[in-house]
Structure 1
Amino acid sequence: MRKGRLFQLLCHLLEKGQSTAGIIAEEFGVSVRTVYRDVETLNAAGIPIYAETGRHGGICLMKGLVMDRAVLSQEDRRKILDALKSGGEDSLEPIPASLQKLAELFDLPADEWLEPGFQGQAPGPNDRIEFLRRAIIQHHTVVLTMADSAEGLYRVHTMPLQVCCREEGWFLRAYCPEEGEYRLLPLSHILKWKPTVESFEPMSFPEEAPKEEAPTARVVVRFPAGMVDRVFAAFDCTNIHRRKDGDLELRRDMPIDQALVNKLLALGPEAGISSPPELRQQVAERARAIYEANL
Structure 2
Amino acid sequence: MPKIRASAVTRTFGRGSRQLAALGPLDLEIATGEFVCLVGPSGCGKSTLLRIAAGLLSPSSGELELRTDATHPAAMIFQDYGIYDWKTVLANVRFGLDVQRVPRKEADRRARAWLDRLGLADFADAYPAALSGGMRQRVAIARALAVEPEILLMDEPFAALDAQLRTILQEELLALTQATDTTTLFITHSLEEALLLGDRVLVMSARPGRVIAERRPPFGRPRTGDVRSDARFTALKDELWQLLRGEVSQQTATCGEGAAA
The structure in which a higher percent of residues are strand is 1
**Max Rg structure:** 1
TM-score over 0.5 (shorter chain): no
| TM, length-normalised to structure 2 | 0.32
Higher relative contact order (CA 8 A, sep 6+): 2
Structure holding more helix per residue = 2
- TM-score computed with the length of structure 1 as normaliser: 0.29
